[in-house]
């Protein structure tokens, strides 16, 4: 066990959140009982009040959580202090027809699809398991959603052994995403012997029913899911499943100064932002005098461009501002009211950042080369791949200064393409002021990533400072934004 409970909590969170659905569910658990659940398909008027704490999810993979300051006054409305991040990470996902038949060596494989821009060569020779959400039919003719996590390593994408490759092939190792990433799942002999023998999970035939969708999937896969959920195979109506590496998150480095885990991008932000929000919400004195709404929005589908019903490109951010402020205004509010609220708001968009890699130091421009364990990174790109400008960057630097959190700077080299994140998308949709930042890491989009242990706490300190100090700093600026 680490001496830092915050780090232990983070390690557990990363290990137990193999998909955005698990990530979201575990973050809701972190919020605790003091946060009241809202449903998007029910009226919020009369439910949301100053000093209240709330959350809702969309698609069970995007999470919005917030607390309303005790001094919120709809006649002079406060703004939204939003920390934004994303819940998804690149991975391999099981296709709608996963049955891959029997290939060479009587080996059964699963059909998988690449989600996002993973470093796919890192998925070879890992002990992979399967997790996701399953739609389950119930005996009374209804349907319900369950999370499933097989936990044991049932899949593997083996690399081609060295003796079967020429020197040139080894030197130019290239992954064909369709041909080379289909995992080995079972071997036919064992597979056919064992599939019908299960007592716990009856097959469709045993249940006297055929189902075209289930026919498209390997019967052993369906059996494993049914057993894990203690249901019958015939109850599996649909699913969204992904592969993940079973190796648990771990502390590393000679002094435990590093953290090794899958999906640090961007579960590290999910974890730290919800930690910060719960700490802020528990501080009665601070919440009582707050005139704003402190909010965390963690979106799905960032890795594939955010254009979805629950991604940052959906109306969800603007709707959150409108709906929450309208509910606080007894269901009222004209355009003037909403625009005032938006102009008093600010989005702190936090995604992971690129730390300097000692073996590839020339990939960074020397004045903008963040280090691990040296604080949060502000990302700037004058071509607007990041939203940071003089004002929004200043706000975060000033919070860092007051809270003793070191701030680092990142600008990509002119001869290198630049990544992007949710900041520009939210800015474009809502016109709300925004900054892009993140914790430094190495191996971004690898099956196993790496970051600095101390950056977790530094990030939480900065988030706490954002909720505490934003209004004061914003009001002390004149004609800046």
Q: Helices (DSSP H) in 195-249: which residue ranges?
A: 212-215, 219-229
If one asks whether residue 218 binds Zn ion (CB under 5 A), the answer comes out as: no
* Residue span binding Zn ion (CB under 5 A) among the ranges 128-136, 182-190, 350-358, 366-374: 350-358
CB of 419 to Zn ion, least distance (A): 8
By beta-carbon proximity to Zn ion, the closer residue of 266 and 326 is 266
Taking alpha carbons only, the member of 265, 233, 263 closest to residue 248 is 263
If one asks whether residue 436 binds Zn ion (CB under 5 A), the answer comes out as: no
By beta-carbon proximity to Zn ion, the closer residue of 81 and 379 is 379
By beta-carbon proximity to Zn ion, the closer residue of 136 and 444 is 444
If one asks whether residue 300 binds Zn ion (CB under 5 A), the answer comes out as: no
* Residue span binding Zn ion (CB under 5 A) among the ranges 48-56, 170-178, 252-260, 344-352: 344-352
CB of 153 to Zn ion, least distance (A): 26
CB of 265 to Zn ion, least distance (A): 4
By beta-carbon proximity to Zn ion, the closer residue of 265 and 449 is 265
By beta-carbon proximity to Zn ion, the closer residue of 220 and 266 is 266
If one asks whether residue 351 binds Zn ion (CB under 5 A), the answer comes out as: yes
If one asks whether residue 468 binds Zn ion (CB under 5 A), the answer comes out as: no
User: Would you give the binding string for Zn ion spanning residues 387-406, x where CB under 5 A is met?
Assistant: --------------------
Q: Residue 337, SS3?
A: helix
If one asks whether residue 88 binds Zn ion (CB under 5 A), the answer comes out as: no
Chain-centroid distance, C-alpha 397: 25
Look up residue 114 and give its two tokens: 């690449």
If one asks whether residue 108 binds Zn ion (CB under 5 A), the answer comes out as: no
* Residue span binding Zn ion (CB under 5 A) among the ranges 276-284, 305-313, 348-356, 456-464: 348-356
Q: From CA 262, how far away is CA 449, in angstroms rounded?
A: 6
End-to-end CA distance of the chain: 46
Instruction: Name 407's Cβ contacts closer than 8 Å, sequence gap at least 6.
Output: 375, 376, 377, 378, 396, 397, 400
Residue bearing tokens 């995007």: 62
By beta-carbon proximity to Zn ion, the closer residue of 98 and 267 is 267
Q: From CA 64, how far away is CA 57, in angstroms rounded?
A: 6
Residue bearing tokens 């398991």: 129
Judged by CB under 5 A, the chain residues 236 through 265 that form the site for Zn ion are 265
Taking alpha carbons only, the member of 250, 296, 253 closest to residue 271 is 296
Q: Residue 188, SS3?
A: helix
Cβ 105 vs Cβ 99: under 8 Å: no
By beta-carbon proximity to Zn ion, the closer residue of 265 and 468 is 265
By beta-carbon proximity to Zn ion, the closer residue of 266 and 325 is 266
* Residue span binding Zn ion (CB under 5 A) among the ranges 23-31, 68-76, 266-274, 383-391: 266-274
Q: From CA 377, how far away is CA 88, in angstroms rounded?
A: 21
Q: Residue 171, SS3?
A: helix
Q: From CA 312, how far away is CA 309, in angstroms rounded?
A: 9
Please pick, from the candidates 109, 220, 266, 387, the single residue that binds Zn ion as defined by CB under 5 A: 266
**Which residue ranges make up the site for Zn ion (CB under 5 A)?**
265-266, 351
């Amino acid at each position: 066990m680490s001496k830092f409970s915050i780090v232990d909590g983070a390690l557990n969170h990363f290990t137990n959140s193999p998909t955005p659905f698990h990530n979201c569910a575990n973050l809701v658990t972190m919020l605790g009982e003091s946060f009241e659940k809202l449903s998007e398909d029910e009226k919020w008027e009369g439910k949301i009040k100053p000093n209240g704490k709330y959350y809702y999810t969309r698609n069970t993979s995007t999470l919005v959580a917030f607390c309303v300051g005790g001094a919120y006054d709809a006649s002079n409305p406060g703004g939204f202090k939003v920390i934004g991040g994303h819940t998804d990470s690149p991975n391999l996902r099981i296709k709608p027809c996963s049955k891959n038949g029997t290939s060479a060596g009587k080996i059964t494989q699963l059909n998988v699809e690449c989600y996002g821009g993973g470093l796919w060569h890192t998925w070879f020779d890992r002990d992979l398991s399967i997790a996701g959400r399953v739609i389950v039919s119930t005996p009374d003719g209804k349907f319900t959603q369950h999370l499933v996590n097989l936990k044991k390593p049932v899949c593997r994408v083996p690399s081609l052994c060295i003796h079967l490759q020429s020197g040139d092939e080894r030197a130019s190792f290239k992954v064909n995403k369709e041909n080379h990433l289909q995992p080995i799942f079972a071997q036919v002999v064992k597979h056919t012997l064992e599939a019908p023998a299960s007592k716990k999970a009856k097959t469709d035939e045993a249940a006297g029913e055929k189902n075209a969708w289930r026919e498209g999937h390997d019967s052993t896969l369906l059996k494993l899911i049914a057993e894990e959920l203690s249901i019958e195979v015939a109850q599996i109506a649909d699913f969204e499943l992904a592969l993940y590496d079973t190796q648990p998150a771990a502390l590393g480095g000679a002094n435990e100064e590093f953290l090794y885990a899958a999906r640090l991008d961007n579960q590290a932000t999910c974890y730290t932002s919800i930690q910060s929000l719960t700490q802020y919400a528990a501080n009665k004195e601070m919440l009582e005098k707050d005139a704003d709404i402190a909010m965390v929005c963690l979106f799905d589908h960032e890795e594939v461009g955010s254009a979805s019903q629950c991604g940052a490109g959906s109306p969800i951010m603007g709707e959150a501002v409108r709906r929450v402020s309208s509910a606080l205004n007894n269901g009222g509010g004209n355009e003037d009211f909403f625009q005032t609220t938006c102009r008093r708001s600010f989005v702190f968009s936090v995604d992971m950042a690129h730390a300097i890699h000692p073996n590839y130091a020339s990939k960074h421009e020397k004045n903008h080369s963040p280090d691990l364990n040296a604080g949060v990174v502000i990302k700037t790109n004058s071509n607007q791949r990041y939203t940071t400008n003089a004002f929004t960057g200043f706000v975060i630097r000033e919070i860092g200064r007051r809270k003793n959190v070191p701030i680092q700077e990142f600008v990509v080299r002119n001869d290198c393409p630049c990544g992007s994140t949710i900041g520009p998308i939210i800015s474009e949709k809502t016109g709300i002021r925004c900054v892009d930042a993140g914790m430094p890491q190495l191996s971004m989009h690898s099956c196993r990533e790496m970051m600095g242990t101390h950056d977790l706490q530094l990030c939480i300190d900065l988030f706490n400072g954002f909720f505490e100090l934003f209004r004061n700093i914003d009001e002390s600026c004149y004609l800046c934004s």
